[in-house]
Amino acid sequence: MRDTDERAREQGESLGIFGTGAAGDSLEDGNLVALSPSNRARASLTLSAGVASVARMLERNQSPEAVCTHALQALRRAFDFQRVLLCETRVATRAYRVVYLAGKALHTPQQQLSFTAAGGNDLFTAALIKNVDVYIRESGDERMQKALPVWYRTICPDARSFLMLPLTASGATVGFLYGDYAQSNARRLTIDEVELLKTLKTQVGIALRQLSLLTQ
């Protein structure tokens, strides 16, 4: 696993997603954090309410489907994403399955929401292997386009900026949360937003793991 992690780190650094403030950032990157303008207060409040609501649903043992759906709706409302999705992932076999989608439809037939990606080095694979949260503020430049996998450019051709949060449960990567915009986005995430997103991804990771066990 150490060799795999090192390859992921090298790939991430070459793509500019780990520890940079250019086209993309890791949520651990200190350069990502900035004070929120007054008109962004609603994002933290909406996300905080969503996290609290999801926590209550988990405590009451509500269905993982309901938990995941509610979490995606909260994420979309908080940041006004054009679309958000929850994707179940098997990193070893590079298999992907879109479990939930809210907002704008993907550019693919409904029956093709499960697929296996071809091998190769790309931003999504590196982020999933390393379990690194990624926020890309401009995906249209040439270097970033080369870093994005073909399957992603096919189903989200209109995305110009996006957030991608790998999900783990019991020490294993089980999927990722994703939200995008149709335009580049210069705003940075606040400290509160970063912490709330980390909590939300933990909650959804638990629910997605439960859902996977139920469907096996």
One pLDDT digit (tens) per residue for the chain, 216 residues: 333 344 444 544 444 444 333 334 445 443 333 333 334 568 899 999 999 999 999 999 999 999 999 999 999 999 999 999 999 988 777 888 898 999 999 988 755 677 777 666 889 988 998 999 999 999 988 889 999 998 899 999 999 999 999 999 888 899 999 999 999 987 788 899 999 999 999 999 999 988 876 665
Kindly state the tokens that stand for 13.
């650094």
- The residue range of the domain holding 41 is 2-215
Contact 89, 175 (CB under 8 A): yes
**Model pLDDT, residue 14:** 46
Q: Are 140 and 16 in contact (CB under 8 A)?
A: no
- With 0-12 / 13-18 / 19 or more C-beta atoms within 10 angstroms meaning exposed / middle / buried, residue 113 is middle
Assign 83 to helix, strand or coil: strand
What does the longest C-alpha to C-alpha distance in the chain come to?
A: 47
Cβ neighbours of residue 124 closer than 8 Å, sequence gap 6 or more: 148, 149, 152, 164, 176
d(C-alpha 155, C-alpha 48), whole Å: 30
Q: What is the pTM of this model?
A: 0.79
Q: Are strands 172-181 and 134-136 parallel, antiparallel or unpaired?
A: unpaired
Query: What is the number of structural domains in the chain?
Result: 1
- Reported in sequence order, the residue ranges of the chain that DSSP labels E, i.e. its strands, are 24-26, 83-90, 95-103, 114-116, 134-136, 161-169, 172-181
CATH number at residue 45: 3.30.450.40
- Which structure tokens are listed for 187? 């705003």
